[in-house]
Chain A
Amino acid sequence: EDQVTQSPEALRLQEGESSSLNCSYTVSGLRGLFWYRQDPGKGPEFLFTLYSAGEEKEKERLKATLTKKESFLHITAPKPEDSATYLCAVQAGWNTGNQFYFGTGTSLTVIP
């Protein structure tokens, strides 16, 4: 059974304190791994797509990496505006609907 697990569930950081969020997956035939940011009361906002092990993507203070079993979202010198829930999703196999399987997210709080 395809599964996506994110850890930790919640993370509190001081402003400037770098850390990483984890997304581990067990799927058959990974086609893509996606990271989203979700602010309270809003819809998920697309951040990155990773397609193969070894790939990395960067955007401002965020860097996403991918191995054969997990992905990390590294946050360097975070600011309070980085506070949000970060969601990971995988697309597996060649299903007709491009279906995503989502993790339950990591809630990040950055304290000034």
Chain B
Amino acid sequence: NAGVTQTPKFRVLKTGQSMTLLCAQDMNHEYMYWYRQDPGMGLRLIHYSVGEGTTAKGEVPDGYNVSRLKKQNFLLGLESAAPSQTSVYFCASSYRQGAYEQYFGPGTRLTVT
């Protein structure tokens, strides 16, 4: 089992460019999440999905879009990148509804210049 994987690992964008981050999990988890982690701020939820074809907003959704076309994949898109989106992005997944732990991917370090 690879667990949760993320691509790419690093990316540098110029302001206004777009990109998509890919998350994949092989644990057959229903729920998937995208977080950003910034110094002194902790992990903050951007968007999440409770199943294939569903998405919902988290704490900091502005400037991001997501899609969950397949159960194992969760995509995070930045349509027009801004320097404020410089961060480390983590994807996570959990089993289903209930107090279940979330399993995290290795992260993507994004710099927007």
Contacts and interface: CB of A to CB of B under 8 A. Distances in A.
Interface of A: 4, 31-32, 34, 36, 41-46, 49, 51, 87, 89, 91, 96-100, 102-105
- How big is chain B's contact interface, by range? 20 to 34
Contact of B100 (A4, A36, A43, A98): A98
Contacts of B50: 96-97
B58 A104 contact: no
Given A31-B99, A44-B90, A104-B41, A99 B48 contact: yes
A103 B101 CA distance: 16
B106 interface: yes
Interface of B: 4, 31, 33, 40-45, 48, 50, 56, 58, 90, 92, 94, 97-107
B99 A32 contact: yes
Contacts of B43: 44, 87, 89, 100, 102
Given A42-B107, A87-B43, A105-B42, A100 B102 contact: yes
28 contacts: A31-B98, A32-B99, A34-B102, A36-B104, A42-B106, A43-B92, A43-B104, A43-B105, A43-B106, A44-B104, A46-B102, A46-B103, A49-B101, A51-B99, A87-B42, A87-B43, A96-B50, A96-B97, A97-B56, A98-B31, A98-B94, A99-B45, A99-B48, A100-B43, A100-B102, A102-B42, A102-B44, A103-B42
Given A31-B99, A42-B106, A98-B94, 5 more contacts: A4-B42, A44-B90, A46-B102, A49-B99, A97-B48
